[in-house]
Amino acid sequence: MDCAEVMTQVASPRWDIFCRVVDNFGDIGVCWRLARQLADEFDLPVRLWVDDLASFARIAPELDVAAAGQLLAGVTVAHWSGTFDGVVPAEVVIEAFACELPAAYRAAMPGVTRCWLNLEYLSAEEWVTGCHGLASPQGQGLQKFFFFPGFVAGTGGLLQEHRQQIERERWHAGDAARFLAQFINPASKALAGQRLAQRQLSLFAYPNRALPSLLDVLAADSALSRVYVPDSLISKAVDEYAGGYIEPGMLWQRGNLQLLALPMLAQDDYDRLLWSCDVNFVRGEDSFVRAQWAGKPLVWHIYRQEEEAHLDKLAAWQARYLADCPAGAAAACAAALAAWNREQTDGAVWQNWLRTLPDLALHARGWAKQLAQHGNLAANLVSFVAGRV
């Protein structure tokens, strides 16, 4: 079933997506991308309920944080607050990441809502394919379906907007150079022009004790590396490494390492940053998925969970990601992932990883093409709903 057929079948039902902002930008990042794509590519009436508009505005600067409701990019954005008395549920309801629906809204769903889904967190673990699409009876004639994003057939796939895919395919070195240059303050132009950076990296991560060892290796390496640091939880540690606050747009240099602090970027600009860099350090789920579509080597800082459960998820993805990678590059990548997520300070790991980046770059491009074979999450979700509405 192609997208046009799907859209024709399910264009009339209203969709409600509920999102509680737990991890600052990860949860809302996924929900906002999904809502925009459903409205843009499938012409669906989508209402996105968000409890934390201030965090949302960091990735969507045009958002009015004081408005209870507003239309943004074709999506009705509603502030999730109050009792929800009198709110009419949609025909299609998505709980993002097992957030609990408001009691009054839930009570009004029977007889109105025809498809209720729990959009789960992304995982590469084997059990996901067996649970994807399963239904759980909720009483009063309602069923809740579990929809799992994933990396293989039999899952929901990954979010990938068509317009972003086209722009990325047309992106080239000239676009990247112009895009990255805009972030450099005029006061740093002279330093930036003395010698072109041979390696561009983006750094978006949680606080990490492994950071100094990575930066030390980059500073001592023979190639000049420029690290772009969008405002995030790791920014404070970057400032501490530099011995003081790095003003956005100002270059700081030690040896062959340059650090460039950036403001928090809107989603589309963050995508362009990933396309423009040679290597991307990412975290959580949203930036992690976007880095894979970028087709560049990446290092993932997975969200820490109790009892080290996150390490099992990391291992499951790593096994899939590196399955077809040359042995030497795969070993170096695995060691870098372990060092970053276990916060180890072995500089030799990063030295070896740098040597294998050409092989990892080739592998990353192939991995992105492999993922595309499973369709994208929004289209798979619309197709799933079409069979039930």
Q: Which residues of 240-276 are buried (b: 16+ CB within 10 A; e: fewer)?
A: ebbeeebebbebbbeebbbbbbbebbebebbbbbbbb
Query: 258: closest CA among 161, 193, 346, 182?
Result: 193
Residue 62 burial (CB < 10 Å; 0-12/13-18/19+)? exposed
Beta pairing, strands 46-50 & 75-79: parallel
Query: Which domains are seen in the chain, by residue range?
Result: 3-158+374-386 (3.40.50), 170-372 (3.40.50.2000)
Run of H or E including 280: strand 279-283
Query: 28: closest CA among 79, 74, 68, 70?
Result: 79
Interval 159-179: pLDDT, tens: 999 999 999 999 999 999 999
Estimate the share of the chain in helix, then strand, then coil, as percent rounded to the nearest 5. Answer: 45, 20, 35
* pLDDT given for residue 2 in this prediction: 44
Instruction: Please state, in angstroms and rounded to a whole number, the distance separating the CA atoms of residues 387 and 228.
Output: 45
User: What is the set of active-site residues?
Assistant: 27, 285
Interval 66-81: pLDDT, tens: 999 999 999 999 999 9
Residues of the chain with pLDDT under 70: 1-12, 23-24
Note if the pTM is more than 0.85: yes
